[in-house]
Amino acid sequence: MVYFIMPANLPPEYHKAEERFKQAKTLQEKVFALEDLIATVPKHKGTDKLRADLRKRLSQLREEAVRKKKSGKGDLYTVEKQGAAQVALVGFPNAGKSSILAVLTNARPVIADYPVSTVIPLSGMMPYEDISFQMIDLPPIGNESTDGWVSGILRNADVLMLVVDLSEDPDIQAELLIEQLTNWKIPVPKKGERKEGNVYKPVILAANKSDLPDAAERLNILKQEYESLFPVIGISTTRKQGIEELRRAVFENSRIIRVYSKEPGKEPDMETPFVMPEGSTVLDLAEAIHKDFINNLKFACIWGSTKYAGQRVQRDYMLRDRDIVEYRVR
């Protein structure tokens, strides 16, 4: 166990983070707990030695992580995608990211009133009708010890959910979050730019604590400024307000569709949809089902988006959400 010489007058958050570091068992837990510990140390002359010691120890742990990564034993800084799409939560301390994760999924994050309660990526699966989305809670933006790997996860995510606190200047929070994402070269819609096609990563703005006094007025300001760029949804995790609207927004902005297969003469399988990118064709789905379909495919019949049920279509027919597809092969 490593102990550090501590100056006096360290905040309570430091001691809590130090205890988590002492209890960490895996390399991943140690790295993220130490990053959290560094973030709690005040910046002044009296803490210079402590900060240097902590950074040295963090550097050693990261070097060990790199060695393990090169040997194929793991990667601390990626989250393997699961479900229909991956949604990353982005926000400043105490905006309510962890509370949103807890409300939307079966995950049980640490929810606290101190600035950095999330120290490692924590994911949970959010059910929506017959599919699920992977939600990832991350350390808050502006933490110098974690911003590097956090930005990597955000860049890889399918959807970004910006979380702001309606109790304190939510419009400024949103502006700063978008500015930071832009600085990281993550393409997100910005005020003054035209929203065109799929150039930008999908964004949802979740305005938390809508049950507080004056929250409605602040939410209206947010909508006036940003609703032309992406959905702005007022929620309250404590009162469960706006949660279903938030779920629906995740699906509607994920750029995916659900398609169901049907064998000739049989009922369609409506319990296990194929999740495909928007714009997918009959041929794209055939390849996803089985590559042999491509060579043997004669035509397909569609129930759903066509003019009449069971309409015969060509290979390049563009599918829509909830289409049922029956393939005819040679």
Domain residue limits, the chain = 12-70, 86-252, 256-329
Write the DSSP symbol of residue 168: S
Nearest to 259 by CA among 277, 278, 273: 273
Which fold is adopted by the domain 256-329?
Ubiquitin-like (UB roll) (3.10.20)
CB-based contacts of 294-302 (< 8 A; 24+ apart in sequence): 296/329, 296/330, 297/327, 297/328, 297/329, 297/330, 298/328, 298/329, 298/330, 299/328, 300/325, 300/326, 300/327, 300/328, 301/325, 301/326, 301/328, 302/326
Distance CA 234, CA 210 (A): 6
pTM of the model: 0.75
pLDDT at 114: 45
Q: Which residues contact 278 (CB under 8 A, 6 or more apart)?
A: 255, 256, 257
Same fold, 86-252 and 256-329: no
Q: Which residues contact 159 (CB under 8 A, 6 or more apart)?
A: 85, 86, 87, 88, 201, 202, 203, 204, 250, 253, 254
Pick the CATH number of 86-252 from 3.40.50.300, 3.40.50.150, 3.40.1010.20, 3.40.50.720: 3.40.50.300
Q: In order along the chain (330 residues), what is the average pLDDT of each group of 10 residues?
A: 56 83 75 75 81 82 65 60 94 90 78 52 90 92 74 92 95 95 91 72 96 94 95 95 96 96 90 93 89 80 94 94 90
